[in-house]
Chains A and B, each alone.
Chain A
Amino acid sequence: MAKRAARGPVDRNADAGDSGRSGSSTQFDSGETTGRMIVTFRDGSLEGLRRGAAKLQDVAGISRFSSMSDSGDSSGVSELDLSSAMVMDHLGIAVVNGDPDQCEAMLSAATDDDGMVMEREYVNFALADLLDGDLLESPGEGRGMSRATVLLPPHLEYLRGYHEAVKHVYESMRNNIQIPGTGGTQSLTPTAAFADTASVTWGLQATGVLGTSLTGRGINVAILDTGLDTSHPDFRNRRIMTQSFVPGETAMDVHGHGTHCTGTACGPLRPSEGPRYGIAHEASIFHGKVLSNSGSGGDGEILAGINWAVQNRCQVISMSLGRSVRPGEAPMTAYEMAGQRALNLGSLIVAAAGNSSSRPGVINPVGSPANAASIVAVAAVDQSLQIARFSDGGINSNGGEVNIAAPGVAIRSSLPLPRRYAAWSGTSMATPHVAGIAALIAQQSSAFRGVALYRELRRRVQQLSLPARDVGNGLVRAI
């Protein structure tokens, strides 16, 4: 799966099955440069990085690639050998050290290539630009003095160059400067502000659900959660299977979380009141209660729920649950292999990244089981397509990356009677958006199963000008 970070030398014999969705751009700017290039890969997945590395080798003879995740030390960037590159796999960015001919070759090739943005790295960056100037005022110096230009030590020079490159790319996108190869079909700027209307929720608008006639018919969607209130009028006349894995509790949803998540993934085309909030409105619903009425459950119940869903040939399994993990903590083998075997049997598992962050200051790693490489980790964005402040990030490697983002703030959906409806926030709410859209895609072609379904899901994303650490490949889209 694409979640794995690039490790060690990047294998250039990578699977080229996933084509990048956009082309490359060559950005030029004045100013003294280090001689190094900063390459931003539009597809920050392992496959994308491998393709990019192969391209760099082909056109410029860049032969050595190392991963910052492996070295864990950004200072190595300033000591790069000639014809070598340091890949920041979490960011989808590489710093390449080439001679002038190699740099020119890369710049020339970038105009024709897909999926890469080339930037020269700058020198003599003013610290004022990096730190808003406040730190330039030494004791006794009054405000209003002209800013000094401060030469930085080598490791900060690298950060400055990176900062400049990202700033340039961001501002180009923000100002709608056309980047060759993007085709202009998907907005790259997070300027849109969505809102619920009388007819449809903002999440369905933002993900393009209204632009497709697909309904999820013939697709089995499993939601593993706190249960489902099948007496809710919005689930009448639906094909629903329920199973409780919680000892002593029926599959009836007392908590509300399971009915809310089921509503987003599979709610009706025309609800009994209010706007449409459900996506795969003709899918068959398999609700496995793996979380108790108090909202907690064991790994065993969840694995049993996955097994049940796979046995019932559910093409999509949605899990808005998890536990926090520590930075550096490895995923459980049980989830990694369960996810892989589910994929092999045609079931794609999506799971909530987690809500333990408090941005911008605190970004915690994607939790378990979303941190398994074979399970799709879903982050949450708000109505302006900005990362939700609680959404966990791709801090850990080996599966701990965020894969995709979806609406997860102020999401209206169904609740058990008599509450009926409410708007909730969380990566729990983002996850069923991905599940519902995956069901639509699975309906479109029987070839879209397992890994192929994940690839198609990823191919359709809308890129966001946010770090891959936060939103993975981008915003889930139905079309």
Chain B
Amino acid sequence: MAKKGVHAGRTTNEGAEERASVEVTVPRLKIVVTVSDQAMSRARQIGKQLGDAGMIIETPLEDLGQFLGSVSQSQFSDLSEIEGVAAVEVLGTLQIPPSPLDPQ
């Protein structure tokens, strides 16, 4: 998660204001990028291009031709412009399918 330091004011119990350094998180989207069938042979090169375009690659899935990682919202749309990228999708959460009979 990318962070940047900024200064913000806060008040102590004694009422004395002091300057403190806190970190504000810049939201990043967790994503999966899928390489097209035609570009599978140059997936590593595409991975480098994704990095240059702002994606932080956490896990390359070589057999599947996919990259897991994150990107800022402002750079999200840039990734799909890279030649050989079939899809850029935001990761969601899955779970055990709930059942009305049992919790399974």
Q: Give A residues with C-beta under 8 Å from B.
A: 226, 255, 257, 260, 291, 295-300, 302-304, 306-307, 310-311, 320-323, 332-334, 337-338, 341-342, 345, 352, 354-356, 358, 367-369, 388-390, 409, 424-429
Minimum CB–CB distance for A258 against chain B, Å: 9
User: What are 17 A-B interface contacts by the 8 Å CB criterion?
Assistant: A291-B94, A291-B96, A299-B93, A300-B32, A322-B95, A323-B93, A323-B94, A323-B95, A334-B87, A337-B34, A337-B37, A337-B66, A341-B63, A390-B100, A424-B102, A426-B97, A426-B102
Whether B59 sits at the interface, judged by CB under 8 Å, is yes
Q: A304-B61, A306-B64 are in contact. Are A257 and B94 (CB under 8 A)?
A: no
B65-104 vs A, CB cutoff 8 Å, 1 = contact: the mask equals 1101000000000000000001101011111111111101
Q: How far is the CA of A334 from the CA of B64 in the complex (A)?
A: 9
Select B64's contact among A295, A332, A342, A388, beta carbons within 8 Å. Answer: A342
Q: Specify which chain A residues have a CB less than 8 angstroms from the CB of B93 in the assembled complex.
A: 296-299, 323
Q: Specify which chain B residues have a CB less than 8 angstroms from the CB of A334 in the assembled complex.
A: 32, 34, 66, 87, 89
Q: Specify which chain A residues have a CB less than 8 angstroms from the CB of B14 in the assembled complex.
A: none
Q: How far is the CA of A388 from the CA of B102 in the complex (A)?
A: 12
Whether B17 sits at the interface, judged by CB under 8 Å, is no
Q: Give B residues with C-beta under 8 Å from A.
A: 30, 32, 34, 37, 59, 61-66, 68, 86-87, 89, 91-102, 104
The answer on a CB contact under 8 Å between B96 and A303 is no
Q: How far is the CA of A390 from the CA of B97 in the complex (A)?
A: 10
Q: Specify which chain A residues have a CB less than 8 angstroms from the CB of B59 in the assembled complex.
A: 300, 304
Cross-chain pair count, CB within 8 angstroms: 131
Minimum CB–CB distance for A38 against chain B, Å: 34
The answer on a CB contact under 8 Å between A341 and B95 is no
Chain A residue with the shortest CB-CB distance to B59: A304
Q: How far is the CA of A269 from the CA of B18 in the complex (A)?
A: 70
Q: Specify which chain B residues have a CB less than 8 angstroms from the CB of A332 in the assembled complex.
A: 87, 89
Q: A333-B86, A334-B34, A428-B104 are in contact. Are A352 and B97 (CB under 8 A)?
A: yes
Minimum CB–CB distance for B38 against chain A, Å: 12
Q: How far is the CA of A409 from the CA of B30 in the complex (A)?
A: 36
Q: How far is the CA of A341 from the CA of B95 in the complex (A)?
A: 24
Chain B residue with the shortest CB-CB distance to A429: B104
The answer on a CB contact under 8 Å between B34 and A426 is no
Q: How far is the CA of A320 from the CA of B95 in the complex (A)?
A: 9
Q: A300-B59, A334-B87, A341-B64 are in contact. Are A322 and B94 (CB under 8 A)?
A: yes
